[in-house]
Amino acid sequence: MAMQPAVLAETTEPIEPEAGRLWLRALRAPLTLTGVIITLVFVVLAVIGPWIAPYDPSAVSDAATAAPSFDHWLGTTQNGQDILSQVLYGAQASMLVGLGSAVITTVLSVLVGITAGYLGGTSDELLSLLANVFLVLPGLPLTIILAAYIPHSGSLGIILVISLTGWAWGARVLRAQTLSLRKRDFVEAARATGERTSKIILRDILPNQLAVIAAAFLGTVTAAILTQASLAFLGLTDVTQWSWGTILYWAQADSALLTGSWWWFVPAGLAIALIGTALSLVNFGIDEFINPRLRQAGIATLKAQRAQVSRRRTKRVRLSGDRQPRPAGAPFTADSTDVVLDVRGLKVNYGATTAVDDVSFTLRRGEVLGIAGESGSGKSTLAYAITRLHKPPADIPQGEIRYTNADRSTVDVLAMDDEQLRAFRWEELSIVFQSAMHALNPIMRVGEQIEDALVAHRPGMAAPERAARVVELLGIVGIPADRAGSYPHELSGGMRQRAMIAVGLALDPEIIVMDEPTTALDVVIQRQIIDKIMELKDRLGFSVIFITHDLSLLIEMSDTIAVMYGGKIVEMAAAQDFHERPQHPYSRGLLESFPTLSGPKKELSGIPGSPPDLRRLPSGCSFRPRCPAAFDACAEHEPRLYQIGASSAACLLYSDDHVVKMGESA
């Protein structure tokens, strides 16, 4: 049973989602299925309970306080009433209260929440005020008082009481959700299409909140059943109307606990616990029913996690003791052999999908290695793998990442344990991510965040020394020292990105990996940051792995460029060579996709088609379907990297066979 979703996903993944089958598939998640079955059983029992009950639940008999027997499956009460019949009758009252209150509560909160959130303005303020008033009403005492006043109104009274005290919370949540959904692009797009407000609410806002609404609904069912049971147990409802709570009330009143008549109170208690558990199980699964993206993703992640478990590394290597400072090196030259990072045959899998395939490169001291690639090329996965920040389902089944320490000894980054890894990251290698707003903690001052790295890695450093270092670092990246006390949101995007770079520099790392550090910034600010990085690199002598899709930028700033496509490096060359003589047809296509500002307008040809899906790479060369130079052999052979002068390119045009053939035909 446990393996079923994985197998199923494998066979059906490429198939178009069909509504009916999706439901079936989601239902196969064993926990959700269990929850749904239990819930259904209770609903059915609630409906047919009175008909299948063997006795009248209130009928008195001679068999007083009898343990479960063939005549009375769940035993009897002190008055000889059949407990099974009471539980069956009770199911009706409990489920009615649960579902009834949940329906009314949900309808009220959806109406108020979405109207207030979408319309805004005065109606929002009035409705929010109303919700807030109901929110501060003390729910439990009110429920008890109201219930005490209307004890003979039966279930209806309780439903009303629970709904009145419960709707406000849901309305608040839905209002907040609506407020954020209202600002989303697809709502604006619907408006710009000319859609009516009512339709936008019904078709754009509401369906995207179904998960929350359903969760609130199920939660209310549970809460209402519990409230009803509590009220009945306290004797605040009509004690002659059977419900699970009433059973417990009588069991308590007639000292079932003292006489050890466990069969009296256990079934009702168990029923309440069971339905509660079942509804929570359904609740967990509900997101996958509703969100078309999660329907597949949930299953894929599960599969990948399972694959991950079977492959744990056991090799451990100690990192060399104290860190020695390196002597300042000479500026980088193309023939340098001072390798700091050597990546060999690195492979990264997401479950069955290979995101990075057999990638090898070396990074030398002071070098800027630019990695270019489009979305899905594997460039960001590579960045995460180098820093070992990849999380399951990502997994590195093969490859080597060797880092050269200051004393020339090398360590395998992939073999480090957690402790070594913590020391390695930031001390030797730091990372600057694309979105500084997300990478910085919004509730900590910028200065504190830089200091944090120092506190963690330099425990011996005294506070004044640390403060001085923070000021120094801010100065290095060009942030005025008085901004150390600012929170991230008080800084501009460019300033935040500088702050991130300052954090990355805090421990004088040897390598800085930058994953699209300037993509979210405007060109003018980008230029400031890039100039700063290059200046710092020359001054401090670190190496940079710079990852971006912006080839123009890479050519300007890199020493060496690696182009990734479909998880592989397809071309590697010195930046100048690459710009003047791109070898791989993909590189040529990329360079012909960029509009230029200087020089005459050139013809832009671009590349037909779109980047490949890593889950379904074409056979042979993965660029083949888009390649203007493709020939038959490209479908059969996966090209390795061929050497062409100082560059190398993974293209069969440069294979010996092809070159010879061309020579013959010429």
Task: List contacts with another protein (CB under 8 A).
Answer: 16-17, 184-186, 188-195, 199, 203-204, 207-208, 210, 290-293, 374-375, 478, 492-494, 522-528, 549-553, 555-556, 579, 589-590, 593-599, 601, 604-608, 610-611, 613, 626
* Number of neighbours of residue 493 by Cβ within 10 angstroms: 16
Q: Cβ closer to another protein: 17 or 138? A: 17
Q: Closer to another protein at the Cβ: 314 or 598? A: 598
The least CB distance from residue 327 to another protein, in Å, is 30
Distances (CA, A) of 536 to 501, 529, 541: 10, 10, 8
Distances, alpha carbon 501 to alpha carbons 361, 446, 509, 556, in Å: 24, 12, 11, 20
Q: What is the CA radius of gyration of the chain?
A: 33
What distances in angstroms separate CA 397 from CA 37, 100, 111, 119, 363, one per listed residue? 40, 54, 52, 53, 22
Tokens of 456: 């963690």
CA distance 480 to 483: 6
φ, ψ of residue 361 in degrees (nearest 5): -165, 165
Between 97 and 495, name the residue whose CB sits nearer to another protein: 495
> Please, what is the angle between helix 154-182 and helix 139-149, to 10°?
150
In which residue are the tokens 């929170």 written?
A: 487
Least spacing, CB of residue 484 vs another protein, in Å: 18
Q: Least distance from C-beta 660 to another protein, angstroms?
A: 31
CA distances for 262 relative to 28, 94, 250, 252, 269, angstroms: 36, 21, 13, 11, 11
Q: From edge to edge, which strands make up the β-sheet containing 410-412? A: 353-364, 339-350, 394-404, 410-412
Q: What is the smallest separation between the CB atom of 523 and another protein, expressed in angstroms? A: 5
Look-up of token digits 């290095």: 476
* Residue 285 CB, nearest approach to another protein (Å): 17
Closer CB to another protein, 291 or 336, in the complex: 291
Q: For the CB of residue 566, give the shortest distance to another protein in the complex, in Å.
A: 13
Please state the closest distance from residue 586 (CB atom) to another protein, in A: 8
> Shortest Cβ distance from residue 45 to another protein (Å)?
34
Cβ at position 358, least distance to another protein in Å = 23
Which DSSP string do the residues of 545-561 spell out, in sequence order? EEEES-HHHHHHH-SEE
Rounded Cα distance, 597 and 602, in Å: 10
Specify the residue for token string 């279930």.
155
Nearer to another protein, 602 or 640 (CB): 602
Residue closer to another protein, measured from CB, 191 or 457:
191
Q: Identify the CA nearest to 431 among candidates 388, 375, 369.
A: 388
Q: Where are the alpha helices (DSSP H) in 344-461?
A: 379-386, 418-427, 436-439, 446-457
Q: Would you call 544 helix, strand, or coil by DSSP?
A: strand
Peptide bond into 393 cis (omega under 30): yes
Q: Which is nearer to another protein, 293 or 316 (CB)?
A: 293
Residue with tokens 């009481």: 161
Rounded (10°) angle between helices 262-290 and 83-119: 30
In the complex, least distance from residue 215 CB atom to another protein, rounded to whole angstroms: 16
Closer to another protein by CB, 186 or 631: give it. Answer: 186
CA 77, CA 363: separation in Å to the nearest integer? 81
Spatial distance between the Cα atoms of 459 and 105, rounded to a whole number of angstroms: 55
Choice between 339 and 520, CB closer to another protein: 520
Closer residue to another protein (CB): 479 or 545? 479
Three-state secondary structure call for residue 522: coil
Confirm if 254 and 237 have CB atoms less than 8 A apart: no
| Token reading at 133 | 């008033």
Identify any residues that bridge with 76 across adjacent strands, giving them in sequence order: 82
Q: Which is nearer to another protein, 207 or 345 (CB)?
A: 207
Nearer to another protein (CB atom), residue 3 or residue 524:
524
CB of 141 to another protein, least distance (A): 33
Q: Closer CB to another protein, residue 604 or residue 660?
A: 604
Shortest Cβ 86–another protein spacing (Å): 44
Q: How far is the CB of 191 from another protein (least distance, A)?
A: 6
